[in-house]
Amino acid sequence: MSDILPPCPECASTYTYQVDALLNCPQCGHEWQPGTAADEASEVRDSVGNVLRDGDTVTVIKDLKVKGSSAVVKVGTKVRGIRLVDGDHDIDCKIPGIGQMGLKSQFVKKVAD
C-alpha cells in the first residue's frame, strides 16, 4: 500500500486525501474511487508494448487502407506528433500526403524522433 495518493482526475490537484474507500479533492470537491483511475485504462501501448504519449513519433507497421478513399498508408510511414484519443482508433495524427486520420495503436511502433 502506497502512501502517495494519485492526483485529482478532474483538476490534477495533488492535495488529495482519503476518506474510507474514496479519495477526495479539496480543490474542486471531486470524489472518486482509487484504483479505477484513468491511469491504466488510458495507457495506450504500441504493437510492442511501448507506452505512447502525445507528441510521440511512430511508424506504421503494416499497410493500412484509408477509409473512404483508395489511399493506403504504407508500412514504414513515419508519423510525427501523434495525439492520443479515446476510441477504437486511439491515435489521432496527420499523415504526410494523406492528412488527418485515426490510427490504431496496435498497428504502430514508437520510434526515437
* Sites of contact with Zn ion (CB under 5 A): 8, 10-11, 13, 25, 27-28, 30
Distances (CA, A) of 40 to 34, 35, 101: 12, 9, 25
Give min distance, CB of 1 to Zn ion, in A: 22
CB closer to Zn ion out of 17 and 86 = 17
E strand or H helix at 111, and its extent?
Answer: strand 108-111
Give min distance, CB of 91 to Zn ion, in A: 28
CB closer to Zn ion out of 11 and 38 = 11
CB closer to Zn ion out of 25 and 103 = 25
**Please, what sign has the CA dihedral across residues 83, 58, 78, 64?**
negative
Give min distance, CB of 109 to Zn ion, in A: 36
Cell triple for residue 11?
A: 483538476
d(CA 79, CA 52): 13
Give min distance, CB of 97 to Zn ion, in A: 43
